[in-house]
Structure 1
Amino acid sequence: MQNSAIQDVPMPVILRQAAGAADMTAARKCFEAYTEWLDEDISFQNYAEELNDLPGKYSPPSGALLLAVDSISRNILGCIAMRPLRLESRYLLNRRPHARYCEIKRLFVYPEARGNQVARLLVREVLRRAEEQGYDEALLDTMTKMHAAIRLYASEGFKETSPYYHNPLNGAMYMSKRLYEL
């Protein structure tokens, strides 16, 4: 009984754009924890280059690299990223050709912070920023084995969609959320 009462109290979280060397190190560690947990080879996404070039394609104003920080301890709780995305013509067949797309990447919450709505806060904030930047649709890929993430995305309005790029991993799943109607 006591455990559920503790979980109902929201964790005091600050969401901020990663800026400066210390934040880039924290973001890199968060990304590395994510890929270790994922246990898949994502080199096809030029992941090593992405890590070395942070914030790179996630730089504001068109992108975002957000950290969730415990407002008391200042510990990093998790991360999420967003980048502008130009779709190849073959992936526009069932999509709006003149829409502005962004891609949500690298949502990760450290195990000790899970169950405190940190992931939901990160998703909502990155979507707010996507809307603020005028994106029409947010896209993401996930893995069918990531049940909690899929439930979270669905609860925030994402729907399963056709591929928007080639992901060779077994169990890849694509989701989208319309932010604006054209």
Structure 2
Amino acid sequence: MISVVSAHAEKELRQAKILFEEYAATLDFALDFQNFEEEMASLPGGYTPPEGCLLLALHRDQVAGCVALRKIDQDTCEMKRLFVRPSFRHLGIGKSLAQRVIQEAKKKGYTRMRLDTVPSMKEARALYKKLGFEAIPSYCHNPVPGAVFLERKL
């Protein structure tokens, strides 16, 4: 069974930080261009309610994945750090997290959601397409060759 919970308490924030670090370790590039170290040091930072949120996915009470939401402007938010631990993949957890963060964005009054992704994230890109995200011009700095910028109306 999959459940998605908000990460507010110190224990949950520690779990989110561990997941973010695991996510970063899977990449073949450094996240320095996103001020990743500063983000880690200030969690929940920009993901703090009411403008943002940080969600954890649990599978049989084990922490399986995460996703975050932050404000870009009054109408636009950004999905960040969608990650599912390898041992929990292909169980629909990524989809559950993405759908929940979209719901949270709607509740917060955002009218569109953006994200950026890279070519190596083939499964995530397929999920984003199924969820209605479409390609847009660059809206943020991402120096990774082939980076794609996506948006979905909410």
Q: TM-score, normalised by structure 1?
A: 0.82
Quick one: which of 122, 126, 137 aligns to 2:97?
A: 122
Check the 8 A contact 1:140/1:174 in 2, yes or no. yes
Q: Does 1:81 align with 2:82?
A: no
Check the 8 A contact 2:54/2:68 in 1, yes or no. yes
**AA paired with 2:50?**
P
Quick one: which of 134, 145, 148 aligns to 1:170?
A: 145
Indicate the SS of the match to 2:138.
Answer: coil
How many equivalent pairs are there? Answer: 154
* CA–CA separation in structure 2 for the residues paired with 1:40 and 1:82: 22
Higher Cα Rg: structure 1 or 2? Answer: 1
Check the 8 A contact 1:160/1:174 in 2, yes or no. yes
* CA–CA separation in structure 1 for the residues paired with 2:42 and 2:5: 19
Structure 2, unpaired ranges of 5+: none
* CA–CA separation in structure 2 for the residues paired with 1:21 and 1:137: 30
Structure 1, unpaired ranges of 5+: 1-11, 87-98
- Runs ≥4 residues deviating over 6 A: none
Indicate the SS of the match to 1:166.
Answer: coil
**How large is the Cα RMSD of the aligned pairs?**
1.0
Deviations 1:70-119 (A, max 9, x none): 2x3x2100000000003xxxxxxxxxxxx610000000000111000000
* CA–CA separation in structure 1 for the residues paired with 2:33 and 2:121: 20
1:161 CA displacement: 1.1
* CA–CA separation in structure 2 for the residues paired with 1:145 and 1:171: 9
Check the 8 A contact 1:58/1:81 in 2, yes or no. yes
Name the residue aligned to 1:8.
none
Quick one: which of 18, 25, 43 aligns to 1:29?
A: 18
Indicate the SS of the match to 2:102.
Answer: helix
Quick one: which of 63, 75, 80 aligns to 1:100?
A: 75
Name the residue aligned to 1:144.
119
Indicate the SS of the match to 1:77.
Answer: strand
Check the 8 A contact 2:33/2:141 in 1, yes or no. no
Identical pairs, percent: 37
